[in-house]
Amino acid sequence: MKIKQVFENNRQWLNKKLELDSNYFKKLSQGQSPKLLYIGCADSRVSCEEIMGLSPGEVFVHRNIANLVPSNDLSSMSVIQYAVEHLKVKHLIVCGHYECGGVKAALEPQHFGLLNPWLRNIRDVYRTHQEELDLIQNQNERHCRLVELNVREQCINVLKETVVQEAIRQRTLNIHGWVFDVHTGKLIDLKIDFKALLKNITNIYRLDG
């Protein structure tokens, strides 16, 4: 695709928006009040607004390789704090996807340069769940399960953040772990039971309202 085409696409898009609502961009410029924070993968096949059927202004978005939420990543931590404290989002979603290149790379014993420290987060997920994953003989099924487990672990990382714990206690903030199936186009809710997962440390990571 040529860059020139991108600007032509933009022109056509804005004209369509104005045909439907002449005040569309005026309204858009007045601010945002999204109810969702979406933390997803940077993969070009997964456009979060499109797969959820949402429009600009309805979802606050953070994307990186393999939808990670490490506590030492200032980018994701800043996004979470802003979305939870200032935008007062009601739902925080971590969404992975099958055929994730980052997850696949983490399974390979190769050197990836600057990516190595980042991929180590996924490799730690594998180490944590190695007994379960090693029992899966089919490589594709093992990859899919690691995608799901990675989403679960990143949700737990989210729950460990003080700003999230306070929002859960003081108001309605729901945490969700999803997977997008690139083969079918379906969003899958993993229905993670966080209270059960963290039952032994709920005195530290409180999940009660």
Alpha carbon distance 72, 11 (integer Å): 40
- Note if 183 is an active site residue: no
User: Out of 48, 62, 95, 100, which one is annotated catalytic?
Assistant: 100
Number of CB atoms found within 10 A of residue 67's CB? 30
User: Out of 11, 45, 120, 171, which one is annotated catalytic?
Assistant: 45
User: Out of 97, 143, 144, 152, which one is annotated catalytic?
Assistant: 97
- Note if 95 is an active site residue: no
Kindly report the backbone phi and psi dihedral angles of residue 119, in degrees, each rounded to the nearest multiple of 5, phi listed first: -65, -25
Alpha carbon distance 89, 95 (integer Å): 16
Q: Residue 68's closest CA among 166, 176, 147, 186?
A: 147
Alpha carbon distance 36, 48 (integer Å): 11
Cα of 117 vs its chain's centroid, Å: 19
User: Out of 41, 95, 144, 155, which one is annotated catalytic?
Assistant: 41
- Note if 41 is an active site residue: yes
* CB 118, CB 101: distance < 8 Å: no
User: How large is the C-alpha radius of gyration of the chain?
Assistant: 19
Count of positions (residues) in the chain: 209
Kindly report the backbone phi and psi dihedral angles of residue 88, in degrees, each rounded to the nearest multiple of 5, phi listed first: 55, 45
> Which residues belong to the active site?
41, 43, 45, 97, 100
